[in-house]
Amino acid sequence: MMKLARWIAGTVVLLGLIALIIVLPFRSMFFQQNQEHIGFAGRVVYILILSSLMVLYRVLKGPTAADRIVAIDIFGILIVGLCAVLSIASGRSWYIDIGIAWGLQSFIGTLALSKYLEGRSFDD
Amino acid sequence: MIDIIGMVFIGVGLSFDVLGCLGLVRLPDVYNRLQAATKCVTLGTCSILFGTFLVSGGFTETGFKALIAIVFLVLASPVAAHAVSRGAHRAGIKLWDRSVVDSYAEDKEGEA
Amino acid sequence: MKSRILMFVFAFAVWCILTWVPDVQQLIAGGAVALIVSVVMGSMFVNRPHMLFNPIRVFYFLFWYVPVFIWELIRANFDVAYRVIHPGMPIKPGIVRLRTELKSDTGLTFLANSITLTPGTLTVDINRDDGVLYIHWINVVGTDPETTFREIGSRFEPMLKKIFEEDVVE
């Protein structure tokens, strides 16, 4: 019963936040050129920031080290999508270069961290 | 018209991203979280990049780079998930209490 | 040597795509970088070049493996989304064994990646000597080898055997 109440409360809060982002006329920071994409891209960026906050909750709370590593990996992939949206919002193609470089760095960092995690219980 | 289709792709990818992050918050142990997050966020971001490819007008600079990023993500994210799950299991992180079976631990006990 | 040439062509193509539209200076710089990369680490790129130029294998890869893979990926996402937003979280996780008959490195890598991105499964470890994959399954149906092969392996293993294994000739 308690679980169901928590589920309903969480759903209402999440849907409310998303509806607020979609409905409110935000002044977007990310535009100079493509005037017709402004509102859409700004809202997409805010929803991506919302899901990044959920990932950051797992980074802060995560009971074990592996949870934090997973969360940081997912955070890197989210940033690749964010860079793609910024590149169509501003019409500059080098944003997506930042995305590709960030994805590569995040992948290599995840591999290194998981190697560290694996070596901790064995002494090799 | 093609802009509308691209925006639909971006919207679908965005909803999968939000669901994947929700799975990262809700599910009980690290392996389940890894499954939900890896699958949903990989397809979501690939869909956002494909929408970028469509909106930016096909084979332009941005479009080519978006396609390269799609291929890279599909190849790289399962490898990262595999490495993290193997490292977590070797570091001794337990499965969830209500898990059914753990053949990997049985076989590792047999070796050691 | 063949592997190094392939690596050079591949690196040069990626460079050209990343600096679209290329002019002369960028082409020269890209050639130099691709040459360095292919000399230093080209020997580990492709081990069996004759597999790559076999048109039947390439055809199977592009028009049989890739569509099935994309379809399974979309199904996997709806499956996971259903499990995440359901209030009772209908999950029954566990780690099971999956026997495989693939031997080559590329085949095993593609099998592991496909299993990770298809509904409810995640590869945890590979034991190459025994040909066993350990798979974390979010909704365990059964643990005996026949069930796991039918539920997990039967979608991808036959086609990967045709694409990547040495002996199977069409």
Q: What 3-state class would DSSP assign to B38?
A: helix
Chain A residues with CB-CB distance to C87 below 8 A? 3-4, 7
Residue by residue, DSSP assigns A59-99 as: HHH-SSHHHHHHHHHHHHHHHHHHHHHHHHHH--THHHHHH
d(CA C49, CA C3): 7
Task: Examine the domain organization and report whether C69 and C112 are in the same domain.
Answer: yes
Task: Examine the domain organization and report whether C11 and C39 are in the same domain.
Answer: yes
**pLDDT at residue A120 in the model:** 56
Task: Examine the domain organization and report whether C82 and C7 are in the same domain.
Answer: no
Query: Is C93 inside a domain boundary?
Result: yes
* Of C94, C95, C91, the residue nearest C132 (C-alpha): C95
Largest CA distance in chain B: 62
- A3–chain C Cβ distance below 8 A for any pair: yes
- A7–chain C Cβ distance below 8 A for any pair: yes
Whether pLDDT at A73 is above 50: yes
C114 with A30: CB under 8 angstroms? no
For residue A86, name the pLDDT band (cuts at 50, 70, 90).
confident
Identify the residue with better confidence: C47 or A89: A89
A54 with B22: CB under 8 angstroms? yes
Task: Examine the domain organization and report whether C35 and C119 are in the same domain.
Answer: no
Q: What 3-state class would DSSP assign to B13?
A: helix
For residue A27, name the pLDDT band (cuts at 50, 70, 90).
low
B4-57 residue pLDDT tens: 898 898 989 998 999 888 888 888 888 888 888 888 888 899 999 999 889 887
Closest Cβ–Cβ partner in A67, A87, A118 for B62: A87
**pLDDT at residue B109 in the model:** 67
Helix (H) or strand (E) holding C62: none
The encoded tokens of residue C11 equal: 């690196």
- Which residue type does B112 have? A
d(CA A15, CA A21): 10
Question: A11 CA to chain C: closest CA distance, Å?
Answer: 9
Count Cα neighbours of A15 within 13 Å in the Cβ-side half-sphere.
7
Task: Examine the domain organization and report whether C10 and C87 are in the same domain.
Answer: no
Chain C residues with CB-CB distance to A97 below 8 A? 18
**pLDDT at residue A122 in the model:** 43
* Of C74, B45, B21, the residue nearest A57 (C-alpha): B21
Domains of chain C: total: 2
Whether pLDDT at C169 is above 50: no
Question: What is the model's pTM?
Answer: 0.86
For residue C170, name the pLDDT band (cuts at 50, 70, 90).
very low
CB neighbours of B46 closer than 8 A, spacing ≥ 6? B13, B70, B73, B74
B97 DSSP β-pair partners: none
Query: Is C112 inside a domain boundary?
Result: yes
Q: Which domain holds residue C8?
A: 2-46
C42 DSSP 8-state letter = G
Query: Is C83 inside a domain boundary?
Result: yes
* Of B54, B55, B17, the residue nearest B38 (C-alpha): B17
pLDDT above 70 coverage of chain C, percent = 91
Whether pLDDT at C136 is above 80: yes
Backbone φ, ψ for residue C27 (5° rounding): -65, -40
Q: What 3-state class would DSSP assign to B60?
A: coil
* Of B32, B28, B98, the residue nearest C136 (C-alpha): B32
Q: Is omega for the bond preceding C21 within 30 degrees of 0, making it cis?
A: yes
Task: Examine the domain organization and report whether C67 and C151 are in the same domain.
Answer: yes
- Out of A35-39, C6-10, C31-35, which region has the weakest mean confidence (pLDDT)? A35-39
B77-100 residue pLDDT tens: 888 888 888 888 888 777 777 777
Task: Examine the domain organization and report whether C36 and C71 are in the same domain.
Answer: no
Task: Examine the domain organization and report whether C120 and C61 are in the same domain.
Answer: yes
* Of C86, B68, B17, the residue nearest A75 (C-alpha): B17
CB-CB neighbours of C132 under 10 Å: 18
Task: Examine the domain organization and report whether C35 and C59 are in the same domain.
Answer: no
Q: Do C74 and B43 touch (CB under 8 A)?
A: yes
Closest Cβ–Cβ partner in A47, A100, A104 for B18: A47
A62 with B26: CB under 8 angstroms? no
Q: Do B19 and C81 touch (CB under 8 A)?
A: yes
Residue by residue, DSSP assigns C117-170 as: TSTTEEEEEEETTTTEEEEEESB----SHHHHHHHTGGGTHHHHHHHH-SS---
Q: Do C93 and B96 touch (CB under 8 A)?
A: yes
B46 with A77: CB under 8 angstroms? no
Other chains touching A, judged by 3 or more CB pairs under 8 Å = B, C
Count Cα neighbours of A65 within 13 Å in the Cβ-side half-sphere.
17
Task: Examine the domain organization and report whether C37 and C65 are in the same domain.
Answer: no
For residue C115, count CB atoms less than 10 angstroms from its CB and return exposed for 0-12, middle for 13-18, buried for 19 or more. Answer: buried
> In B71-95, which positions are buried (b, 16+ CB within 10 angstroms) versus exposed (e)?
ebbbebbbbbbbbbbbbbbbbebeb
Whether pLDDT at C142 is above 60: yes
**pLDDT at residue B47 in the model:** 92
Domain limits of chain B? 2-94
* Of C1, C110, C14, the residue nearest C46 (C-alpha): C1
Question: C85 CA to chain B: closest CA distance, Å?
Answer: 8
Task: Examine the domain organization and report whether C42 and C76 are in the same domain.
Answer: no
